Amino acid sequence: MAEQKKFYGQEEFSKGLEGVIACESKIGYIDGQKGWLIYRGIEIGDLAEHSTYEETAYLLLFGKLPTRKELDEFNEKLVSYRKIDPRVAEIIKDMPPKAHPMAQLRTAFSALGTYEDPAKVDEFDLETWTELGIKAISEMATVAAQVGRLRAGKPPVEPDPTLNHASNFFYMLTGRKPNELEADVMNKALILHADHGLNASTFTAMVIASSLSDIYSAITGGIASLKGPLHGGANERTLKMFMEIGEPENAKAYIEEKLAKKEKIMGMGHRVYKAYDPRARILSSYAERLAKLSGNEKLYLIAKEVEKVMIERLGKKGIFPNVDFYSGIVYYSLGIDPKMFTPIFAVARVAGWVARVLEYLHDNRIFRPRAVYTGPLKAEYIPIDQRS
């Protein structure tokens, strides 16, 4: 084995590319030891407190907070792109209803790209990619809402141009206008999930874009990657786990059993954070408030108990709640179907995907890592009749 590695002149590698620096970026930074997250230098807590999703998306894409005029123009664009081709709804309707909404979102979003002018989509031009990226941020909300409506057997809701991005998404998904608290929490949730370094889905989008494929392909790849339970799919599973636990006093035994079987506790742990995820901290207070208001307080108490037991057991290994730990309770308390939790993540994260893809393309180099070959160096081709 050692000889084979030597053959390729490479002895060491980083599984999952952990810790490997693949590019430079000015978009966002995570200090995993301190539990600190910034977008373009601004702390996530400040953005959640004061910004809107539109403004945050602008910041991620263009590197600075917009002036009022710039924000108005950006908003106008987003609003103008909210209506999507009606054939997408027909495609979603034709999908098997038991398919996961992330699979439906992936397919529907990919289909949406085919209705764009190929002369625009398939030619590489950064200005066009930027415009289509802004369009995609707006369209993602509409496609995700349509997936949610149609799988619930309800007709799509027309976008409301008077509502901001987060409120309009809530409206298109639920069919009712959010109250002040609901509008605030949806806006905050989208900001908190908008970007997070070179996570699997962002990296996937960048890898696709680096071949100069097209922006719809890159975003579709991002959705596909986000679907997994080790990434965006964790929020839905975290809520399911709280429901399975049933009572706060069951949490300890449940966790011990899972840990004994070497199973992961959903919503806990992070590849980068070895401290409390600042996004989870912000969502935790909303989870408490909304759970009480919606009669789901028990879920919150179960979550608190799971958090306590896990930190006692694995805090020393740097295992703390991540963003998915409380987001599920928040969305569930807003009356949203758990199956739609991961699509909501995509509605937020698309801004990060677009921003990072565009940034990378300014100085593009196609991604091409290598594997350490550990197979045989010489093997014979045996004709099929002679194989055992």
Ligand X SMILES: CC(C)(COP(=O)(O)OP(=O)(O)OC[C@H]1O[C@@H](n2cnc3c(N)ncnc32)[C@H](O)[C@@H]1OP(=O)(O)O)[C@@H](O)C(=O)NCCC(=O)NCCS
Cα gap 167→119, rounded to integer Å? 34
Reference 342, options 239, 263, 256; nearest CA is: 239
Cα gap 204→159, rounded to integer Å? 30
CB of 27 to ligand X, least distance (A): 18
**R_g of the chain computed on alpha carbons:** 22
8 A C-beta contact, residue 185 and residue 330: yes
Is 111 an interacting residue with respect to ligand X (CB under 6 A)?
Answer: no
Reference 138, options 214, 84, 73, 61; nearest CA is: 84
Nearer to ligand X by C-beta: 54 or 236? 236
Per-residue binding string, ligand X, 318-347, x by CB under 6 A, is xx--xxx-----------------------
Is 282 an interacting residue with respect to ligand X (CB under 6 A)?
Answer: no
CB of 199 to ligand X, least distance (A): 8
Is 265 an interacting residue with respect to ligand X (CB under 6 A)?
Answer: yes
Nearer to ligand X by C-beta: 84 or 329? 329
Query: Distance from first CA to last CA of the chain, Å, rounded?
Result: 25
Give residue number: closest CB to ligand X. 269
**Which residue do the tokens 């594997």 mark?**
371
Chain positions 213 to 232 lying near ligand X, rule: CB under 6 A, are 230
Handedness of CA 76, 104, 187, 357 (dihedral sign): negative
Which residue in 68, 69, 98, 317 binds ligand X (CB under 6 A)?
317
Nearer to ligand X by C-beta: 143 or 192? 192
Nearer to ligand X by C-beta: 28 or 159? 28
Nearer to ligand X by C-beta: 106 or 270? 270
Active site residues: 231, 270, 324
Q: What 8-state DSSP symbol labels residue 296?
A: -
Cα gap 29→160, rounded to integer Å? 34
CB of 21 to ligand X, least distance (A): 17
Looking at 115-263, list the stretches that DSSP marks H as alpha helix, in order from N- to C-terminal side. Answer: 118-121, 126-151, 165-174, 180-192, 200-210, 215-226, 234-245, 251-260
8 A C-beta contact, residue 352 and residue 202: yes
Which region, judged by CB under 6 A, interacts with ligand X, from 50-58, 66-74, 116-124, 268-276?
268-276
Which region, judged by CB under 6 A, interacts with ligand X, from 129-137, 156-164, 182-190, 310-318?
310-318
Is 270 an interacting residue with respect to ligand X (CB under 6 A)?
Answer: yes
- How many other CB atoms sit within 10 Å of the CB of residue 132? 22
Angle subtended by helix axes 323-333 and 278-293, to nearest 10: 20
Reference 234, options 149, 142, 158, 328; nearest CA is: 328
Size of the site for ligand X (CB under 6 A): 17
Is 266 an interacting residue with respect to ligand X (CB under 6 A)?
Answer: yes
Is 20 an interacting residue with respect to ligand X (CB under 6 A)?
Answer: no
Which region, judged by CB under 6 A, interacts with ligand X, from 38-46, 102-110, 259-267, 289-297?
259-267
Reference 88, options 233, 216, 212, 222; nearest CA is: 216
CB of 18 to ligand X, least distance (A): 7
Nearer to ligand X by C-beta: 45 or 315? 315
Is 30 an interacting residue with respect to ligand X (CB under 6 A)?
Answer: no
8 A C-beta contact, residue 82 and residue 161: yes
CB of 341 to ligand X, least distance (A): 12
Is 164 an interacting residue with respect to ligand X (CB under 6 A)?
Answer: no
Cα gap 295→318, rounded to integer Å? 32
Is 264 an interacting residue with respect to ligand X (CB under 6 A)?
Answer: yes
Is 267 an interacting residue with respect to ligand X (CB under 6 A)?
Answer: yes
Per-residue binding string, ligand X, 231-250, x by CB under 6 A, is ---x----------------
Nearer to ligand X by C-beta: 5 or 271? 271
Would you state the structure tokens that stand for residue 98, as one six-digit string?
Answer: 């038991």
CB of 191 to ligand X, least distance (A): 16
Instruction: Name the residues that contact ligand X, by CB under 6 A.
Output: 230, 234, 264-271, 314, 317-319, 322-324
